[in-house]
Amino acid sequence: MGHSNADQVESDAPQKGGTPKKMWPPQINGGFLNINKPAGMTSMDVIRIVRRLTGQRKVGHGGTLDPDATGVLPICIGRATRFIDRFVQGRKVYEATATFGTSTDTYDASGRVTAESDPSTITREAIEAALPGFMGEISQIPPMYSAIKVKGVRLYKLAREGREIEREPREVLVYGLDITSWKSPTLGLRIECGSGFYARSVVHDLGQALGNTAHLGKLIRSQVGRFALDEAVTLEGLEESTKAGDWEQMLHPIDSALLDLPAVVVDPIQEEAIGFGKSIQPEIGASTSDASQVRAYNRDGELIALMKHDPILGQLNPVRVLATS
């Protein structure tokens, strides 16, 4: 999976007292692009391409994909970058291909072979018996080739120097782990997981659990939150739309990252209070009692804030406030 689950935002906004590097076209309010990342480029490469094509300065992505991985990469533009964490921390679905008989230093097909074994003894029944051990809340040791920092240094930099250090295990959530195909030595898996999970690690660890070796052969991210692969756009498609001048039609609205939360509509006085970061008292009967967070709209239908419900005081506290146009 990704070398890092930290969101990335890139901007050419001038420093105080400085001047812009280039002239930019008008900046849009914000929204999300559901991009189908191709193999052979980093998630940051995609950001740079999107910025170049659209002319938007403030662009980020919702969860890193390894260069060899393909599939859904949510791209956040403008004010939508404030909600990147909704994708980074949300559920994701992957289609992974594991190859038994060989392990590598990167845990995937791009790495150097570190061990080989005979995979012919592995059976589907043995795999099915081992998979429950990787379900639920599990401890996972990140691979050395990852962007996690240890004492300020990213692990992959140490790995490239030929160094391997002890890594602290991390608690990750695996909601689903199902066999989609099996033809020795190749296993197909559908993985539904939370943030911080490494598909490369689970394949490597599965090989060890079976007394064998394994590496990740292929990885496709088929879903991030509500964004699905069959609705994603290619970079070529985005380029064609920018040339035609209608690329903004591909944008999903900012609240598309929040649709799993209940909504409240506030009056002008409450809207002004929220704009100053103040709490409000929701109307009686508003569907907030069972929710930890809600999305707040003004009477014009504009999303103005993400709010947190305080069940003790019965009020809504601003978490992120968006200035309305």
Q: What is the set of active-site residues? A: 66
Read off the DSSP letter of residue 157. H
Render the burial of 192-208: b for 16+ CB within 10 Å, e for the rest: bbbbbbbbbbbbbbbbe
Alpha carbon distances (Å) from 30 to 36, 112, 128, 188, 323: 19, 42, 45, 37, 12
Render the burial of 79-112: b for 16+ CB within 10 Å, e for the rest: bbbbbbbbbbebbbbbbbbbbbbbbbbbbbeebe
Element (H, E) at 183: strand 170-183
Q: Which residues contact 130 (CB under 8 A, 6 or more apart)?
A: 206, 209, 210
Among the listed residues 149, 186, 190, the one whose alpha carbon sits nearest the alpha carbon of residue 167: 149
Six-digit token string for 213:
């070796």
Six-digit token string for 321:
């406030």
Q: Could you tell me where the DSSP H helices lie in 20-72?
A: 43-54
